[in-house]
């Protein structure tokens, strides 16, 4: 079978790269909030040619899973101190789980969201080209909902191929990825801004599309000050607290498209950054759009943590995205070398 959910954790759902191309019909993109960690987990789980297969996304606290068949898994993202049958196992490495084995995940000691990939992906029926869970429309994933105790999930591959891969895991050599402190591949490549003894996650953003709605002072306020994540943050968006962004004639506009990374400014002058479950349209003016490579860092922050913003051009955003893709390709190549022919 695959996996049986014994304890679902705080908020666990099935996600992949998202449901693209249906915003005009009113369907959210959904997908993993931290797509970098999702991709890394899939690569280490052996899904080298399909790093966007469906995974389990755990938020803040994991749960407990019993394996009803032999599987190969990998974990990435927030460290929830994973245990196999009560014994610690590494993240960012393939791990063989035998039938009857138990995987338990606790509170995240760092970060917010953790991702569990399975060799062959989590096998649920795709809806509109994606297996991601859309909670508001109740579609995708498993019955369009978060996971609960007793749920049974299948992996996408079985038989001889999976058995050969599982046997090969014990022969894989990942010493080239072992470094002191924090290895280069664990986190996305977003920068930080430093002020005195404080370090803030720096979110790079392309200005607009409603730049003219804001005064010059307001546009400068947005990038010169830190903003704090409020308690009102979820898969849809992160609401921020901090200095008010000055507008010319108010925040309301004729509703237009909203994307992941869109930064709306509310009537109070405070930013909201859209995440994976963002709405399809919105009526607040957007001062900027956070680039895709920096969204994973935001998705791992908790309420009370801080961010700052920096304007970049569209061309700079493309160069940054290409550099990040090159980093993932390098990681994929190293993993392929370590796995060999398993």
Please report the pLDDT score of residue 341 as a whole number. Answer: 59
Q: Rounded to an integer, what distance in angstroms lies between the CA atom of residue 40 and that of residue 229? A: 26
Q: Cα separation of 181 and 183, whole Å? A: 7
| pTM to 2 decimal places | 0.96
Residues in contact with 264: Cβ distance below 8 Å, sequence separation at least 6, in sequence order: 251, 258, 271, 272, 274, 282, 284, 285, 286, 287
Percentage of the chain surpassing pLDDT 70?
A: 98
Across 193-201, average pLDDT: 91
Distance (Å, whole) CA 305 – CA 316: 27
pLDDT band for position 126 (50/70/90)?
A: very high
Pairing of strands 152-155, 122-123: antiparallel
213 or 157, greater pLDDT: 213
Grade residue 162 by pLDDT with cuts at 50, 70 and 90: confident
Q: Are 162 and 99 in contact (CB under 8 A)?
A: no
pLDDT at 182: 67
pLDDT band at 250 (very low <50, low <70, confident <90, very high): confident
**pLDDT score recorded for residue 78:** 97
Rounded to an integer, the average pLDDT of 242-263 is 93
* Cα–Cα distance list, 166 to 26, 47, 159, 224, 226 (Å): 42, 13, 11, 51, 47
Evaluate if residue 220 carries a pLDDT over 90: yes
pLDDT of residue 134: 96
Q: Has residue 180 got a pLDDT over 70?
A: no
Band the pLDDT of 267: cuts 50, 70, 90.
Answer: very high
Mean pLDDT across the chain, nearest whole number? Answer: 94
Give the pLDDT band (50/70/90) at residue 193: very high
Q: Once rounded to an integer, what is the mean pLDDT over residues 215-224?
A: 97
Q: What pairs with residue 288 in β-bridges?
A: 207, 263
pLDDT band at 107 (very low <50, low <70, confident <90, very high): very high
Look at residues 264, 260, 265 and name the one whose alpha carbon lies nearest to residue 292. 260
pLDDT band at residue 1 using 50, 70 and 90 as cut-offs: low
Q: What's the mean pLDDT in 294-305?
A: 98
pLDDT in tens, 46-95: 999 999 999 999 999 999 999 999 999 999 999 999 999 999 999 999 99
Q: What pLDDT score was predicted for residue 92? A: 96
CA distance 134 to 236: 11
Q: What pLDDT shows up at residue 26?
A: 86
Q: Name the residue with higher pLDDT: 184 or 278.
A: 278
The full set of domains in the chain, from first to last, is 2-171 (no CATH), 192-323 (2.40.100.10)
Binned at pLDDT 50, 70 and 90, residue 179 comes out as low
Higher pLDDT, 195 or 5: 5
pLDDT at 342: 62
Tell me how crowded residue 24 is: count the other CB atoms within 10 A of its CB.
9
- In the predicted model, is pLDDT for residue 302 greater than 80? yes
Rounded to the nearest 5 percent, the helix, strand and coil shares of the chain are 20, 35, 45
Which pLDDT does position 200 carry in this prediction? 96
């Amino acid at each position: 079978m695959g996996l049986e959910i014994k304890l679902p954790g705080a908020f666990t759902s099935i996600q992949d790269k998202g449901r693209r191309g249906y915003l005009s019909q009113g369907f959210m993109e959904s997908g993993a909030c931290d797509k970098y960690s999702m991709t890394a987990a899939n690569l280490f789980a052996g899904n080298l040619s399909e790093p966007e297969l469906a995974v389990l996304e755990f938020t803040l606290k994991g749960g407990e899973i019993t394996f009803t068949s032999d599987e190969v898994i990998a974990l990435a993202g927030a460290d929830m101190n994973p245990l196999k049958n009560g014994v610690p196992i590494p993240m960012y490495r393939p791990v063989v789980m035998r039938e009857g084995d138990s995987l338990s995940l606790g509170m995240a000691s760092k970060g917010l969201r953790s991702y569990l990939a399975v060799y062959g992906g989590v096998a649920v029926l795709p809806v509109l080209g994606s297996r991601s869970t859309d909670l508001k429309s109740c579609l995708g994933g498993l019955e369009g909902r978060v996971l609960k105790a007793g749920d049974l999930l299948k992996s996408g591959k079985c038989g001889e191929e999976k058995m050969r891969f599982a046997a090969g895991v014990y022969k894989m050599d990942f010493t080239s990825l072992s470094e002191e402190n924090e290895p280069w591949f664990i986190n996305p490549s977003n920068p930080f801004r430093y002020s005195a003894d404080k370090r803030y996650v720096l979110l790079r953003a392309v200005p607009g599309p409603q730049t003219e709605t804001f005064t010059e002072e307001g546009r400068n306020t947005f990038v010169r000050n830190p903003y704090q994540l409020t308690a009102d943050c979820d898969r849809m968006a992160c609401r921020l607290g901090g200095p008010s962004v000055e507008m010319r004639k108010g925040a309301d506009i004729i509703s237009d498209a909203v994307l992941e990374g869109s930064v709306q400014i509310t009537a109070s002058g405070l930013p909201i950054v859209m995440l994976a479950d963002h709405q399809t349209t919105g009526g607040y003016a957007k001062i900027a759009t956070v680039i895709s490579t920096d969204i994973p860092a935001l998705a791992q922050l908790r309420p009370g943590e801080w961010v700052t913003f920096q304007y970049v051009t569209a061309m700079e955003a493309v160069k940054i995205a290409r550099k990040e893709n090159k980093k993932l390709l390098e990681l994929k190549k190293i993993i392929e070398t370590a796995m060999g022919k398993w």
